Amino acid sequence: MRRKVFELIAGHLGSLRIDSLIVEKAKTGPALRADEAFYPKMLGYLLRYVVEREVVNGVEELIVITDTIPVQKKRKAVEKAIKSVLAAMLPAGMRYRILHHASRSHYGLQVADYCNWAVFRKWQRGETEFYDQIKPALRSEFDIFRTGVTYYY
């Protein structure tokens, strides 16, 4: 099943851009470990990188689509992080929207999940079969704690 899905994705790589932020959670300091701090901060780093490149390319409106987050507290934290990053980065007057969709009913989120899974398998287990299929669309793969030497757990 996965092979067929990745074959389908590989056939459309020309319309995809994959940016990936690699986070080794064991290197995450205690102050950042709580979900309310961790996810918004990491999402902010990823968005900052992607948004800066797109603004330079003349994008007029940005649409951020997230999976529906079932826990209200976590959803508000993620949305707040997205808004604060966008407010700090976007040119004055640039439009943006944040949409929440259930991933089971949104093909774009499903493709993102598969691509993230392939990157995860490469980093976690050294398995590159599916990663190699999406690699042509991979624009960035940033290991945020690459220079960190302290493991907190």
What pTM does this model have?
0.84
Q: What is the 8-class DSSP label of residue 13?
A: G
Give 3-state DSSP helix, strand, coil % of the chain, rounded to 5.
Answer: 60, 15, 25
Look at residue 150 and tell me if it is in a domain. no
Residues 6+ apart with CB under 8 A from 102: 67, 68
Look at residue 115 and tell me if it is in a domain. yes
Domain count, the chain: 1
Given this model, what pLDDT does residue 122 score? 97
Q: Give residue-wise pLDDT tens across range 70-122.
A: 778 778 877 888 888 888 878 888 889 989 899 999 999 999 999 999 999 99
Residue recorded with tokens 């976590």:
74
Look at residue 86 and tell me if it is in a domain. yes
Look at residue 151 and tell me if it is in a domain. no
Q: How many Cβ atoms are within 10 Å of 98's Cβ, its own excluded? A: 14
Q: Give residue-wise pLDDT tens across range 3-25.
A: 999 999 999 999 999 999 999 99
Given this model, what pLDDT does residue 116 score? 96
Which range marks the domain in which residue 94 is found?
2-143
